[in-house]
Structure 1
Amino acid sequence: MRVSTGQIQRMVMQSLQQGGADYGKLMQQMATGNRLLKPSDDPLATVRLQGIDKELSALTQYEKNAVQVKSRLGQQETQIDSMKEILLRLRDMTVEAGNGSYELAERQALTHEMVSLKQALLDLANARNEEGHYVFSGSRTDLPAVAETAPGVFDYQGDDYQRMVAIASGVMVPANDSAERLLFNGGNLLQDIHDFIELLQTTPGNIGTAVGDMLDSLDQGIGNITRALTDIGGRINSLDQVVAAHGEMKVFGQGLHNELSALDYGEAAMNMQQILLALQSTQQTYVNVNKLSLFNAL
C-alpha cells in the first residue's frame, strides 16, 4: 500500500498537535503543582481524593467546633470558679455571724459585705458572652438566668437545656451549663442568702438554727459548683485531646492527598525533555517531507 506525501504530512501534523498538547498539559501541571488537571487523568485517584477532601473538610469543622466550645467552657469555668470563691467567703461570714457573743449591730456590720457578695453572685449568674447572650440560662439565652421577680424574691428564668456540639464523628460534648444546676439544684441558694442577710439585719438573740440552715444551703451550693467545675475541666481536657488528634489526622490526610495529586517535578522534567525531543524530531520530519517532490527524484 502506497502512502502519499499528503498522508504523511497529515500524520506528521497530528503528531505535532499531540506533542504540543502534551507539552501544554505538562506546563500546566508544573505551573499548578498538580498531577491531576481533570478527573479523567486518573479516575481512581480522583475518587480517593474526593473522599480525602470530604474527610479533611469534616475534620476542619470538628476542630473549629472543639476550639469554640473549649473557649466558651473556659470562660464559664472562670465565672463558676468566681461563684465558688464567693460562696466560700459567705460561708466564712455565716460561721462568724453564728458567734454567740455577737450583738445585732455586729451582725449588721457583716451584712454590708454579704450584700455586695450576693450582688456579685447574681451578676455572675447573669453573665453574657461576647454575642450578648446569657451564658447560664440554658436555651433561653435572651433572658437573664436569675431575676428578682418581686422585691426580695429570686427565681430562675432559664431551663436545663445543654447545647450539644459535634466535635468528632458520633461524638458530642455539652457546650454550656445552667444556673439551675449551679444555684437551684435542690434549693434556691440566692433566695436563702437574701433571707439570711435580712435576718442578720433585723433579728437579735439566738440565730443558731438559721446559721445551721444557711451553712447547709451554702455547702450544697459549693458541692454543686465543685462538681460542675470538675465536669467542665474534664470536658476541656477531652477537647484538648480531640483537637490534637484532629491535627494529626489532618496532617496524615494532607500527606495522602499530596501523594495522590502532587506532581513529581523530577519525573515531569524528564517527560518534558522527551516531549521536546519528540517535537524536534517530528518537526524535522515535517520539513523533510515538504522537500519531497517529483523533481527531487529526477
Structure 2
Amino acid sequence: MRVSTGQIQRIMMQSMQQGGADYGKLLQQMGSGDRLLKPSDDPLATVRLQGIDKEISAIEQYEKNALQVTSRLGQQETQIDAMKDILLRLRDMTVEAGNGTYGLEERRALTQEMESLKESLLDLVNARNEEGHYLFSGSRTDVPAVAENPAGVFSYQGDDYQRQVSIANGVNVSANDTAEGLMFNGGNLLQDVHDFIQLLDTATGNISNDVADMLSSMDKGIGNLTRTLTDIGGRINGLEQVVATHGEMKVFGQGLHNELSALDYGEAAMNMQQMLLALQSSQQAFVNVNKLSLFNAL
C-alpha cells in the first residue's frame, strides 16, 4: 500500500492537533486542580462523586437541623431553669407562711413578693424566641401558652404537640416542650399559687392544711421541671455528639471526594513534559516531511 506525502501530512497534522488538545486539557486540569473536567473523563468516578456529594449535602442538612434544635433547647433550658428557681423561692415562702406564730399581717407581708414571683413565672411560661414564637405552646406558637382569663383564672392555650426534627438518617429528636407538661401535669400550678396568695391575704385562722397542699403542688411542679431539665440536657448532649459525628463524616466524605477528583500535580507535571517532547518531535517530523520532494533526489 502506497502512502502519499499528503496522507502522511494529514496523519501528522491530526496527531499534532490531538497532542495540542491533550496538552490544553492538562493545562485546564492544572489550573482548576480537578482531574475530571467532564463526566466522560471517568464515568465511574463521576457516579461515585455524585453519590458522595449527595451524602455530604444530606449530612450538612442534618447538621444544620441539629444545631438549630440545640439552640432552641438551650433557650428552653434557660427559661425552665429560671422557673425552677422561682418555685424554689415560692416554696421557701410557703413554708414561712405556715409559721404557727404568723397572723394576717405577717402573711400579707409575704404576698407582695409572692405576687411578683407569680407574674415572673407567667412571663417565663409565655416566653418567646427571637422570631416572636411562643416557646411552650406546642404547635400553637402564635398564642401565649398560658392565659389569665378572666382575671385570676389560669388556663393552658396550647396543645401537646412536640415537633420531631430529623438529625440523622432515621433519627429524630423532640425540639420543644410544652407548658402543659411543665405547669399542668397533674394540676394547675399557676392557679394554685394564685389561690394561695389570695388565701394569705385574707385568712386569719389555721392554714396548715393549705400550706401542706401548696407544698405538695409545688413539689410536683419542681419535679416536673427537674425531669424536663434532665431530659433536655440529655437531648442537648446527644445532639452535640451527633454534630461531632457529622463533622467527622463530612471530613471523610470530602477526603474521598478529593481522592477521586483532585489532580495529582506530580504526575501531571511528568505528563506535561512527555507531551511537550512528543509535540516537539511531531512538529520536527512534520517539518522534515514537508521538505520531502522527488526533486531533492535528482
**TM-score band, normalised by shorter chain:** over 0.9
| TM-score (normalised: structure 1) | 0.99
Question: After TM superposition, what 4+ stretches of structure 1 lie above 4 angstroms from structure 2?
Answer: none
1:277 corresponding residue in structure 2: 277
2:220 corresponding residue in structure 1: 220
**What is the distance in 2 between the residues matched to 1:204 and 1:33?**
87
**What is the distance in 2 between the residues matched to 1:134 and 1:268?**
59
**What is the distance in 2 between the residues matched to 1:132 and 1:291?**
85
In the TM superposition, what whole-angstrom CA distance separates every residue of 1:55-74 from its partner, at most 9, and x where no partner exists?
Answer: 11111111111111111111
In the TM superposition, what whole-angstrom CA distance separates every residue of 1:175-205 from its partner, at most 9, and x where no partner exists?
Answer: 0000000001111100000010001001111
Q: How does 1:97-108 map to 2 (within 5 A)?
A: 97-108=97-108
Say whether 1:156 aligns with 2:162. no
- Number of residues of Structure 1 aligned to a counterpart in Structure 2: 298
State the Cα RMSD in Å. Answer: 0.7
Quote how far apart the aligned CAs of 1:292 are: 1.4
In the TM superposition, what whole-angstrom CA distance separates every residue of 1:260-291 from its partner, at most 9, and x where no partner exists?
Answer: 11000000000011111111011111111111
1:190 corresponding residue in structure 2: 190
**What is the distance in 1 between the residues matched to 2:57 and 2:256?**
15
What is the percentage of aligned positions where both structures have the same residue?
Answer: 81
Q: What is the letter of the counterpart of residue 126 of structure 1?
A: N
Say whether 1:237 aligns with 2:237. yes
Q: How does 1:1-298 map to 2 (within 5 A)?
A: 1-298=1-298
| TM-score (normalised: structure 2) | 0.99
Quote how far apart the aligned CAs of 1:294 are: 2.2
In the TM superposition, what whole-angstrom CA distance separates every residue of 1:198-256 from its partner, at most 9, and x where no partner exists?
Answer: 01001111111111111111011000000000000000000111011111111111111
**What is the distance in 1 between the residues matched to 2:228 and 2:102?**
36
**What is the distance in 2 between the residues matched to 1:170 and 1:224?**
29
Q: What is the letter of the counterpart of residue 149 of structure 1?
A: N
**What is the distance in 1 between the residues matched to 2:210 and 2:156?**
23
Q: What is the letter of the counterpart of residue 290 of structure 2?
A: N
Quote how far apart the aligned CAs of 1:297 are: 2.1
Q: What is the letter of the counterpart of residue 39 of structure 2?
A: P
Q: What is the letter of the counterpart of residue 183 of structure 2?
A: L
**What is the distance in 2 between the residues matched to 1:174 and 1:151?**
34
3-state SS, counterpart of residue 155 of structure 1: strand
Quote how far apart the aligned CAs of 1:89 are: 0.4
3-state SS, counterpart of residue 128 of structure 2: coil
Q: What is the letter of the counterpart of residue 148 of structure 2?
A: E
3-state SS, counterpart of residue 150 of structure 1: coil
**What is the distance in 2 between the residues matched to 1:150 and 1:297?**
120
Q: What is the letter of the counterpart of residue 72 of structure 1?
A: R
**What is the distance in 1 between the residues matched to 2:125 and 2:3?**
94
**What is the distance in 2 between the residues matched to 1:296 and 1:136?**
100
